[in-house]
Structure 1
């Protein structure tokens, strides 16, 4: 037998090897199997576990999301946060039965409905509204002082835009007027100002987190306070990833290092972080005004303006030794301040507590990430970050934000 014949015979005798299964199919298989099992479990209504729910009353958890007053009517939007369907069967206003209509007769979990109650309310009077479910549960919705809710038309949205300009764009622009002072300040002063900036950003992160958790403290839909920390984590990681991508793209050899960022890039990150924070702040302001719980007076606008002016200083401080041109400064100011306009418009139209809390969490995570990125710039010639001067600057930044924040609450 020749060599070729032996080779052919050996190949014929060798077992046929199947091509390897693609890796994506191996990853998809368990997901498909899990979906099938869960689908069968749902269709069959948890076979064998029905006895666990026998004799147990349905769990009703309903959150009031919005209250609007129009002439002769009270509109209340509620959401079912519990695991069981809920129906509103009766509405009492100050112990009197009131006629009403609703957009959805039965709310499945996480669904909402808007009840339109026929009631001749009196301006300035308080009202206790009780929504009675089909199982006898009561959901209170207090109206501290009845007032006509603003109509959401063209003039209203123009007012929200102006509000965003007043509390976002103008204060940031005014704060950036410290640029000439920052340029002429000695290096030791710049480090103190950078410490002040870290304090400002740290306060914004803490304040946004507390405000967001308060929004959803009694609202467990979509995870409750968890959405705040989810938003913060998403923003922090996105900015970290974006910064790493930009660093690798421009300086491949510097990837993985912890050196201080270039001043122009750091200023941009600060502007983005402050912009995300102002988005959540505008959302809260717009929604509060839309539901009539915020009276916009000159003193309140001035309070917000003073409070947010310090944000402009935070943007220009890293640019002390590399001042940009006027167009770039204007762009940074818009990045930081303009989101307040978008937030006010969103809050006035499609406000939802979980969304507001998530966006405030995004702002908190963003400014926290930027504050961390600022720390390498605080180092002195000896390589120390937290010197007496920089620590005093951080404390001063916290104190300034706390003090100016009192003007908003006043």
Structure 2
């Protein structure tokens, strides 16, 4: 029996397309369209610019000197293939051998030049391409490149310890001073830390851009910004995950409330300091250690590459300068722990996180040093310390809620000036 005013229900068949098909479909259509255009020789796709001369853009990435040989690593940044035909060293043609007869886009080539160079003399080198192009490089003072054996890599590891681990370990000895400081002094020290991190952010960014300013391979200066954004987002993700773990009731101990009553002071926060309500002092010190560690990775790269190309005096000056420069980084790590009594093992782990990457950087710089990689790692260091500086800002607030007071503004300025003054010791 059918009721008036109602229609019999009809079962409708609906076929759902899988979601992965919906996502992949446009890509398949684009690929098919490009293939069709190429097959039909669509106007504008082929033959464009056949009559123009080749565009040659070659950069010299590295120079090594051994007995009677000059070895250059070059890379083709342009879209057109490039062939190195001749080499001129200080107005004299020299014999050469190559690992590649022709370099395609972004391909590298090792050019070995036979030339009786003299220790300490300067040399101008010109690579002549088959199309008549010229690629210039300069050796200010010829120095025998060190033999990269076991003792050399041991030296690099030792230099990383000198630059990263020892100075930061000495900086951690400020922990008793920090623990006995008043809340106002703690805010001043945190402001000093912010100034230190801001300086490191700017310094690493400018150094990375300078490295690839004249090298457009792999995006040039863009790789610095890519590294900075990547590091910033990774640390933000780690912080968000840690915050979820600490605020999730399922992860809270049964004897502790999941949330803290409003208006109750955080016992982990020094009296008189505003609670950022997001990061614990332990997490802040860990983020600072990670950020400084990523920055020290770039410093290790600079030292390792200086020794690898034979700039031994430059490498020594970098070691001394960076060692003095990095001592206050230990202070930056322990300052958020002012109200804590962390065990020595935790402090040692934080010191290694911040300092040990200098060892890895020195080894990388001495072996696989490449300008774009170095710039990317410097960008990562800049993004990491910049992210930590932002996270420290809420801890500068006084009892009235103001962040920039005469005390904190003076602390930031002092941190900037101190890092600038010690940075003058780093001769580059």
* Coarse TM-score class (shorter-chain normalised): over 0.9
Report what 1:393 is aligned to: 411
4+ runs deviating over 4 angstroms? 38-47, 296-300
Q: Distance in 2 between matches of 1:291 and 1:231?
A: 25
Instruction: Identify the match of residue 29 of structure 2 among 33, 42, 45.
Output: 33
Secondary structure of the equivalent of 2:83? strand
Query: For residues 130 and 35 of structure 1, what CA distance do their matches in structure 2 show?
Result: 43
Quote how far apart the aligned CAs of 1:285 are.
1.6
Question: d(CA) in 1 for partners of 2:329 and 2:303?
Answer: 18
Matched, 1:126 2:140: no
Give the CA deviation at 1:24.
1.6
Seen in structure 2, the aligned counterparts of structure 1 residues 37 and 98 have a Cα distance that, compared at 3 Å, is farther
**Cα deviation per residue 1:257-309 (whole Å; 9 max; x = unaligned)?**
96351101000000000000001111122112211235257654332211010
Aligned to 1:109: 105
Residue 190, structure 1, aligned to residue 208, structure 2: no
| Correspondence for 2:78 | 82
Cα distance in 1, alignment partners of residues 42 and 98 from structure 2: 32
User: 2:424 is paired with a residue of what secondary structure?
Assistant: helix
Q: Does 1:374 align with 2:392?
A: yes
| 1:267-278 equivalence runs, <5 A | 267-278=285-296
Q: TM-score, normalised by structure 2?
A: 0.89
CA distance in 2, matches of 1:78, 1:309: 38
Greater CA drift, 40-49 or 213-222: 40-49
CA distance in 2, matches of 1:241, 1:107: 40
1:62 aligned residue: 58
Alignment of 1:230-249 (within 5 A): 230-249=226-245
| Stretch deviating more after TM superposition (215-224 or 257-266) | 257-266
Matched-pair contact (CA < 8 Å) for 1:78–1:114 = yes
Indicate the residue corresponding to 1:162 in structure 2: 158
**TM-score with structure 1 setting the length:** 0.93
**What is the aligned partner in structure 2 of residue 151 from structure 1?**
147
Distance in structure 1 (CA, Å) of the matches to 2:282 and 2:242 = 12
Quick check: 1:261 aligned with 2:257? no
Match of 1:281 among 282, 296, 299: 299
Kept in 2, the 8 Å contact 1:260–1:377? The answer is no
CA distance in 2, matches of 1:39, 1:97: 48
Where structure 2 has 5 or more consecutive residues not aligned to the other structure, the ranges are 3-7, 249-257, 260-274
More helix by share: 1
Following the alignment from structure 1 to structure 2, what is the Cα–Cα distance between the partners of residues 43 and 132? Answer: 38
Contact preservation (8 Å) 1:73, 1:119: yes
- Report if the CA contact (8 A) 1:212-1:361 is conserved: yes
2:119–2:144: 8 Å Cα contact kept in structure 1? yes
Deviations along 1:20-59, whole A, 9 cap, x unmatched?
0011210011122223444566677775344530321111
- Alpha-carbon distance in structure 2 between the residues aligned to 1:46 and 1:341: 55
RMSD (Å) for aligned C-alpha atoms: 2.0
Q: Contact between 1:259 and 1:376, CA under 8 Å: does it hold in 2?
A: no
Cα distance change of structure 1 residues 276 and 44 upon mapping to structure 2, 3 Å threshold: farther
Query: Do the aligned partners of residues 339 and 140 (structure 1) sit closer, same or farther apart at CA in structure 2, a change above 3 Å counting?
Result: same
8 Å Cα contact 1:199/1:393 also seen in 2:
yes
Q: How does 1:304-343 map to 2 (within 5 A)?
A: 304-343=322-361
Unpaired runs of at least 5, structure 1: 4-9
- Whether the 8 Å CA contact 2:304–2:365 is kept in 1: the answer is yes
Q: Deviation digits for residues 312-355 of structure 1, max 9, x if unmatched? A: 11001101111311000000000000000000001110111110
